[in-house]
Structure 1
Amino acid sequence: MANVLVIDDDRFVLAMVRDILQSAGYAVVTVQTPEEAFNMSVSEISAILCDYNMPGMTGADVLTAMRELQGCNVPFIFLTGHEELDDILPVAIRYGAELLPKPIQPVELIRLLVKQLGTAAA
């Protein structure tokens, strides 16, 4: 079973994403701040879903820190309601991350996660 880390400052979004992923058979760990994610061991994490707009740190900052400082190369998906993609796309392309627009559609979330996990396993 894949373990998915979800980082979002919105408790409602965390609960919704957790419920969607758990109903699809994934184990889910949720945190509300990037700092909480950085303080945990990511060695058992199979994928990360991260809000783009959070207080103090963007999802791009989180992705860069995970890749460069934590050495965590698992699939990464931005959850974003952010309409201007110019600041997201360069880091997403650089690190092979995907974008999932909000409001989150459960089928699209699972499809994208399965795709990312399959790509990582290949």
Structure 2
Amino acid sequence: MQTVLVIDDDVFVLSMVTDILHSAGYAVVKVQSPDDAFKLDLAQISAILCDYNMPQMNGADVLIAMRELKECNAPFIFLTGHEQLDDLLSVAIRYGAELLPKPIHPVELIRLLVKQLATAAA
């Protein structure tokens, strides 16, 4: 079973995304802060879903740290309600991440996740 790490400071979104992933057959590790995510054994993570707007650091910073400091190349999807995407797009393109706008639609979430996992496996 593939394990997805979900990072979001909003408890409601964290719970909703977890339910969607469980119903699609994924194991889920959920955390409310990037610091908690960095403490995990990321080698066990198949993909990462990360909120963009968080108090400690934004999702772009999380992605850069995952790739450059933690050497974690798991597929990465930003969950964002962020209106101005220019700063986010350049980081997403550089590191091969996807963007999923909020509100989250379950079918679109699973479609993007399957696509990212298939690309990583190829």
For residue 4 of structure 2, what is the aligned residue in structure 1? Answer: 4
1:84-115 residue CA offsets vs partner (Å, 9 max, x unmatched): 10110010000000000000000000000000
Q: Tell me the equivalent position of 2:94.
A: 94
Q: Give the secondary structure class of the aligned counterpart of 1:49.
A: strand
Question: Identity over aligned residues, as a percent?
Answer: 78
Deviation at 1:69, TM superposition (A): 0.2
Residue matched to 1:40: 40
For 2:72 and 2:56, the matched residues in 1 are separated by 21
Distance in 2, Cα, partners of 1:79 & 1:48: 10
- Which is helix-richer, 1 or 2? 2
1:40 Cα offset (Å): 1.0
Alignment length, in residue pairs? 122
Shift of residue 79, structure 1, vs aligned partner? 0.1
Structure-2-length-normalised TM-score: 0.99
Instruction: Spell out structure 1 runs of 4+ moving beyond 2 A.
Output: none
User: 1:46, CA displacement in angstroms?
Assistant: 0.2
Give TM-score, length-normalised by structure 1. Answer: 0.99
